[in-house]
A and B are shown apart, each in its own frame.
Chain A
Amino acid sequence: MDDRYVILVGRWVVLTLGVFWSAFPIFMVVSSSFKTHLDIFAVPPKFIFQPTFDNYVLLFREWPQFLDGLVNSMIITVGATVLTAITSLLAGYAYSRFHSRLLTLSAFFMILVRMLPPIVVTIPLFPAVNAMGLSDTHAILILLYAAFFVSLATWILKTFIDQIPRELEEAAEVEGSSVWQRLVRVVLPLSVHGMVAACVFVVVFAWNEYVFALIFTSNEAKTAPLILAEISGAIEGVQWGILFAAASVQLLPILAFVLLVQKFIVTGITAGAVKG
C-alpha cells in the first residue's frame, strides 16, 4: 500500500515538474505572439495583457510566402517520413531476424556514416544535385532527410522487432503467408511503438530542418524554416510579434501530430500484453 502511495505522489510530482519545465518557455513564445511589440520584452515580463491578433494578421499579410513554405514543408515532411518508415521497417526487420557477418557490418556502417556532420556533406552534394537538376525540388529534400534518419529509425525498429516473439511469425508462416504479409500483419502492429518514436523524430527533423533546405531550395520547394529565418533576420529590425506568431503556427502541426500518434502507444500497451 505504501509503495503505491509513494508511486502515485511521485508520478504527479514528476509530471508536474516536467510539464512546467517544458511548457514555460513555450508559453512565453506563444503568449508573446499575442502581445504588442512593447510588451514582448517588457521588464519585468507581463503575464496579464490585452491579447492582440495583429501579429497573425501581419504575418500572413507581410509574409504570404510563409503559407507556401508550410505547404512545402508539409509535402517534404510527409514524403521523408513515409520513405523512412517503409525502408527502415524492412531493414530493421532484416537486422533483427537474420544474422550474418555482412549484416552486422552494414548495421554498424549505418551508424558510422551518420557520425559525419551534415554541413560538410553539403559541400560535394551541392554541385551534384545541381548537375542532376534536382535543386529546388521536394524530391531532393525528401531523399536527404530520409538518408539522415534511416540509421536511427532502423536501429529503433530493430530493437523493437527483437522483442516480438518469433513464434507469432512462425504461426503465420505455417498458415502460408509470405514474408511481406507477415511484415504488415504481424511485425508492424507489434512494433508500432518503435514506429511511432521513429516517425516523430523524422517529422520533427524534416519540419524544422534548415541547412539542407537553405542550400537545396530556392523558391518552388522553399520550406517554412527558411521564411522563419528571414523574419528573424530582417535588417530593418525584427518584428518580434510576427516571429513568435510564425513560431507558434510552426509548432502547432507537430503538437497535433504527437497528440494523434501517441494514441498508438496506448493501444500498443494492450497489444504488448498479448505477446507476453
Chain B
Amino acid sequence: MNARTHKMVGELLTGVMAAALIASTGTIANAEELSIIGHAVHQKVSTGEAGGNFAGEWAEANSAELNWLTFNVQDIHERLYREANLSSTTIDVGFAANRYFNPQFPAMFEPLDDYLARAPIEDFDELPKGMLDALTFDGKLYGIPFRHATAALHINTAILEEQGVPVPQTFEELLDAARKLTFKRDDGTQVHGLLLDFRSPAILTDFARAASNGDFLTPDFQLKANSPAMVKAVETVAELFNEGVLPEAFLNFKTEDVITYMQQGRGAMAISPFGRYRNFNNPEQSQFAGKFEAVAVPKSESLEGFDVAPIRVEFWALVIPKNSDNKEQAWDYIRNAVSPENTIRAAVNGNGPVRPSAYNDQRVKDLVPYAPAEQAALSVARPPMPGFSESARAEDIFIEEVDKLFLGLQTAQEAMDSAQARIEPLLPSN
C-alpha cells in the first residue's frame, strides 16, 4: 500500500473512531530518541560485553537515547515495511536481510549517496561490492551492509575418523564422503552423511555454484532454473535424499533441525553458516563438542578460477526509512556502527564482519578459529539471488517443484522446467 492510500484510510477511520475511543497515552517520538528495529542478535552484537557497547557509547556521545525494537526475522521486515509506508514513523534505523530486498526500496527508504558524500564512512571501499550491488536500485544506494552469514562445510571429525573417511578436498569427494558417512549405528541410530538447512533455491544453488559456478537467478534477473547446472544440482540433492544421505525429515526441515541433528551426532557433515560452529561445539548442548571443524565448501575438480566454492552469503544491511524525522542522526549512527574498529568490536561480540580485513585482526582471530576459512569463503561468496517484489512467491514455487521431485512425482528436468515457466512471469521487467 502506498503512503497516500494509507493516509486516506487513516484519516477516514480516524474521524469515525476517534470519537468512540478513549484518550490514549500514546508515545510520541522524543527528539533525542533514536529507534532501531532489528533482531535481538543485532542488539547483542552492538551492545555486547566482550567487544564493548559501541552503540551505547555513540548514544552517550550524541546525548541520544537508543530505543531497540526487536522481533523475529520475518516480523522485523513486516513491521519495518509497514512503518515505512506510513506518512510518518518513529523508526529511524532498520535492519533488513538481503532475502527481503526489493525494488520498492526507493519508495520506502532514504537513498544514502548524499549522506555518504557529506559524511563518509571510513574505508567505505572495503565493503563487499556484491552486497552493495544488491542494495543499489535505480543507481542509488539504499543500505549499508552490517552482518553476513556465509555457508561453510561443517565436519564432525569424530565420525569421519571412526569411519575412516578423510576430510573432502573437492566437491566430488564431499558427495562421496556424504554417502560413505551414511550408516546405522549398532544401537540402531541412523547417521546421515550430509545435512542442508532447507529446500530453498538459495540453499540448493550452492550445489550448482560448487559444481560449475552456476546460478538460479543472476543479479541482472536472468532466470536459470532449468539450466543444466541447476537441473544437475537439484538432481544431486534428490539422489542424496532418496539414498537416505539426507534424512526424510529434510522435507520438513527448519534451521533448528540441522543444529539438533549435528549436536546429537545424527549428521556427519552439514552445509550451514559458519556461525553454527559455536552451536555444534557448545559443550552444554552438543554430544560432540570440540569435534567439529568448519571449512570452506570445496569446489569441484573441474571448476577453474576459484580456490573454494563460490557459495551463498546472506547478509543484513542498515536502512533509514524515508519517513523518519531523525535521518541525520540515523546516518551518524550507521556510519559509526560500520566503521572498521566497530566492525571488529561487533565481531568480538559474535557478529559476522562484512569487512574482510576484520579477519586479520588478532582479537577476531583469537575468538574465531575458522577465521581464515571464512575469509576465503567470503572472498568468493555472493548473495544467492537478487531480491525482488515476488521473490517469496518464486521461492515457494521452487520448493513446491523440488518437493514433487523428492516425492518421485517428476524428474529433475520436469521440476526445473516447470519452475522456470512459473517464475519467469514474476520477474521484474527490465
B-binding residues in A (CB < 8 A): 36-38, 41-43, 123-128, 130-137, 139-140, 143, 214-215, 218-220, 226, 229-230, 233-238
Contact = CB atoms under 8 A, between A and B. Distances in A.
B285 interface: yes
A229 B17 contact: no
B153 interface: no
B10 A133 contact: no
Nearest to A37: B285
Given A133-B26, A236-B279, A124 B9 contact: yes
A126 B1 CA distance: 11
Contacts of B242: none
B27 A235 contact: no
A135 B278 CA distance: 38
Given A126-B82, A236-B350, A237-B279, A139 B25 contact: yes
Interface residues of B, number: 52
Contacts of A133: 24, 26, 28
B14 interface: yes
B287 interface: yes
B287 A219 contact: no
Contacts, number: 110
Contacts of B61: none
Interface in B15-30: 17-18, 21-22, 24-28
A128 B86 CA distance: 10
A134 B26 contact: yes
B24 A235 contact: no
Given A214-B71, A233-B73, A136 B287 contact: no
B14 A131 contact: yes
Given A127-B6, A131-B11, A135-B26, A214 B284 contact: no
B257 to A, nearest CB: 10
B430 interface: no
B260 A236 contact: no
A237 B284 CA distance: 13
Contacts of B82: 126, 215
Contacts of A42: 264
Contacts of A220: 27
B256 interface: yes
